[in-house]
Amino acid sequence: DRLPELLRRMPKAELHIHIEGSLEPDLIFALAQRNSVAIPYASVDELRRAYAFTNLQSFLDIYYAGASVLLHEQDFYDMARAYLARAAMDNVAHTEIFFDPQTHTARGVKMDTVINGLHCACVDAQAELNISASLILCFLRHLSETEAFETLEQALPHRDKFIGVGLDSSELGHPPEKFARVFARCRELGLHLVAHAGEEGPPAYIWTALDILKVERIDHGVQSSKDAALMQRLARDRIPLTVCPLSNLKLCVFPQLADHNIGALLEAGLVATINSDDPAYFGGYMNENFLQTFAATGLAAQHAYQLACNSFEASFIEPGAKRRYL
Ligand code: ADE
Ligand code: ZN
């Protein structure tokens, strides 16, 4: 069976990866020591044993605790370089990386420290690993829109170092429309727009992400299969979904990988893609997501080809450069 080899070797784009979710337990411990930050886990193994999640919030609590070891520009650089090297091994040719500045600025870390560290890693990875990487700034939706505006203000001196904005963190109770005005401002600024919607939340959140925030892609979006009219809208307008199968499994969005609806989304003609979300926490980078999903759901080679094409179509690579991949 040559399908696993095809999945590993095909060039692909990753469009849904939170850089703080690529922080491996070993690096958390190394940075905790380097920065003299206390963490409430005695060992790497004890930390790993805490990675037993029941829903999105149970994960986010541990994910934010892990990020507390990041203080200096070098820390952000090291985290991103480690991810980029790992992604290059999976034949990721292009990646669009989410980062959560508010998780860091709330602890007194400067916006400049965060963005400069991540940006330098992206520049060096292009030269040294031949992987192209762009940054997408995410607003934390459990915080207020006022705080999102303050974050945007702090980031604008670095406008050339990120290509867009997104919306992440606790979905239920924090619908997209809470951020209508800040997304309108980002749209005026010419930033690309994406939002997490329909991970745990209802199809209504996907509708408002599209119609009120005017996002170009939906992150996750797996709940769209509950709404036939929404499926038609996503297919008609070729709105990509950045689906994360191992994340959905670990956060109990689907009871088993075999129950995942990625096959149904593709069969309905949606521009669905496969991504890793928070690979250090969910048990796999890109190729592991492809391999396990294909093994569990019975997707075949034509789906692999479709997913690779979709990933480049859905990317924010310049249209001229995109043709190289399609
Ligand atoms: N932040 C990191 N991973 C996330 C996810 N899967 N959903 C919402 N916010 C996140
Ligand atoms: Zn995510």
Near ion ligand 2, which residues have CB within 5 Å? 277
CA–CA gap between residue 44 and residue 46 (Å, rounded): 6
Tokens of 85: 């090297």
196 labelled binding-site residue: yes
The residue whose C-alpha atom lies closest to atom 9 belonging to ligand 1 is: 169
pLDDT in tens, 146-187: 999 999 999 999 999 999 999 999 999 999 999 999 999 999
Report how far ligand 2's centroid is from the alpha carbon of 1 (Å). Answer: 32
Above pLDDT 90, what percent of the chain?
97
What's the whole-number mean pLDDT along residues 9-38? Answer: 98
Report how far ligand 2's centroid is from the alpha carbon of 277 (Å). Answer: 5
Residue 322: inside a domain: no
Q: How many folded domains does the chain comprise?
A: 1
Residue 323: inside a domain: no
**pLDDT score at 325:** 86
Q: Which-ligand-closest: CA of 250?
A: 1
pLDDT in tens, 264-280: 999 999 999 999 999 99
**pLDDT score at 323:** 85
CA–CA gap between residue 195 and residue 305 (Å, rounded): 26
Q: DSSP string covering 30-79, please?
A: HHHHHHT---S-SSHHHHHHT---SSHHHHHHHHHHHGGG--SHHHHHHH
What is the rounded average pLDDT for all residues in the chain? 98
Residue 149: inside a domain: yes
Listed in sequence order, the residues at least 6 apart from 324 whose beta carbon sits closer than 8 Å to its beta carbon are: none
Report how far ligand 1's centroid is from the alpha carbon of 300 (Å). Answer: 28
Is 18 close to ligand 1, i.e. is its CB under 6 Å away?
yes
CA–CA gap between residue 158 and residue 149 (Å, rounded): 15
Residue 304, domain CATH: 3.20.20.140
**pLDDT score at 292:** 98
Is 200 close to ligand 1, i.e. is its CB under 6 Å away?
no
Residue 19: inside a domain: yes
Residue 325: inside a domain: no
* HEC per residue, 254-284: CCCHHHCCHHHHHHCCCCEEECCECHHHHCC
Above pLDDT 70, what percent of the chain?
100
Residue 320: band (very low, low, confident or very high) from pLDDT cuts 50, 70, 90: confident
pTM over 0.90: yes
CA–CA gap between residue 279 and residue 99 (Å, rounded): 14
**Residue-range definition of the domain harbouring residue 8:** 3-314
Is 56 close to ligand 1, i.e. is its CB under 6 Å away?
yes
Q: Candidates 64, 142, 199: which one to mutate for ligand 1, based on the most atoms within 8 Å of Cβ? A: 199
Complex ipTM, two decimals? 0.98
What's the whole-number mean pLDDT along residues 178-204? Answer: 99
